[in-house]
Amino acid sequence: MKIEKTSHSRIRKMNFKNIDFGNQYSDHMFCSEFKNGKWKNSIIKPFGKIMFSPISLVFHYGQAVFEGMKAYKDKNEEVFLFRPEENLKRINRSAARLEMPTIPENIFMIGLKNLINIDRDWVPKYYGQSLYIRPFLIATNGALSAKPSQDYMFIIISAPADTYYKHPLKIKIEEKYSRSASGGIGFTKAAGNYASSFYPTRLANEKGFDQILWTDSSTHTMIEESGTMNVFFHLKNKLITPKFNDNILGGITCKSILSLAEKEGFFVEERNISVSEIIEGLQTGELREAFGCGTAVVINYFKTISYKENNFDLPNLSEKERISLYFKKRLLDIQHNLSEDPFGWRVQLKRYF
């Protein structure tokens, strides 16, 4: 692997106490090309622009998939990744579904670890903060005919991150628009999945809601995801979440919460959840709490759920009563090396630069 370090780090301009997520990027990026059926030209170089032909099929037919992951620091400023092998599995599932080449483990892991080691000063040291890491794979050539590209580029960039949402969320159950459909690509992290969500989300924002609670495309009667998050409900003393299927992204944070909950003796169910069941729980008070989870957001609880123009406020629990905050702390403590990691999720990055 070739490494070209920047001669002018931008980190001196970075204020880690006031992180503007998505607008401040670390000094370097990793790139690797897929040409003639082989991966080649792996390089870490200064973060910057990349030139592509206007006929690259990423622009025309949407061959683009990505991942979201994070690096954390502990009190000794050692750096850790969280379950990176799961991100590799998921980006390759996404790539295969969009007829793109899968990324070899050595290219993904060596590129990732080298990149974060070089930019380890960009990993914030404060609890709850992290370095958000964005691996992505795009088509880089082609002709204007509807068939897969032959050439691709795999890139990893990173950005310091703070809390994604700073308040409890108001959520609207979607009754018209759909995020995905059976047999489609809802289970992938394809770029187009997110683009198609922007318009209905804006409509919800204009009515005062933070996000959408997506429902199935056929009947809009079954719960799927919330915005870009998996969703949990604390209902009738059980922690329930929609069972993963072709419509729902298999969230790594969601899987981690399920593992923690089962290990600690919570009653957990992964199953189909109807809108009517959630509304009944809100009306009877049996729905104690609802929250979304994902890499960027970690965990954020819902304040209000709206359906058919009716707003239902969830119980006003104390912090100690909230199961969402309990699991958020459990996850962050593992990620920041403040507690034991019984699952082996934490991967320490040893210094070798």
Tens-binned pLDDT, residue by residue, of the chain (353 aa): 999 999 999 999 999 988 988 889 999 999 999 999 999 999 999 999 999 999 999 999 999 999 999 999 999 999 999 999 999 999 999 999 999 999 999 999 999 999 999 999 999 999 999 999 999 999 998 788 899 999 999 999 999 999 888 899 999 999 999 999 999 999 999 999 999 999 999 999 999 999 999 999 999 999 999 988 999 999 999 999 999 999 999 999 999 999 999 999 999 999 999 999 999 999 999 999 999 999 999 999 999 999 999 999 999 999 999 999 999 999 999 999 999 999 999 999 988 76
Task: For residue 93, give the 3-state DSSP assignment.
Answer: helix
Beta strands in 144-276 (DSSP E): 152-161, 169-173, 211-215, 223-226, 230-235, 238-241, 268-270
Give dist(CA 345, CA 80) in Å, integer.
10
Report in angstroms the alpha-carbon separations of 325 from 125, 190, 302, 352: 21, 30, 12, 36
Going by C-alpha positions, the residue among 63, 56, 5, 65 that lies closest to residue 30 is 5
Query: Within the chain, which residue ranges are assigned CATH 3.30.470.10?
Result: 2-162
Give dist(CA 10, CA 25) in Å, integer.
9
Does the pTM surpass 0.85? The reply is: yes
Kindly state the tokens that stand for 137: 């794979």
Query: Within the chain, which residue ranges are assigned CATH 3.20.10.10?
Result: 169-316
Vertex 81: Cα angle to 3 and 48 (nearest 5) = 35
Could you tell me how many helices (H) and strands (E) the chain has, helices first? 7, 18
What pLDDT is recorded for position 327?
98
Instruction: Decide yes or no: CATH 3.20.10.10 for domain 169-316.
Output: yes
What's the topology of domain 2-162?
D-amino Acid Aminotransferase; Chain A, domain 1 (3.30.470)
For 125-157, the pLDDT digits (tens) are 999 999 999 999 999 987 888 999 999 999 999
Report in angstroms the alpha-carbon separations of 49 from 44, 52, 160: 14, 10, 19
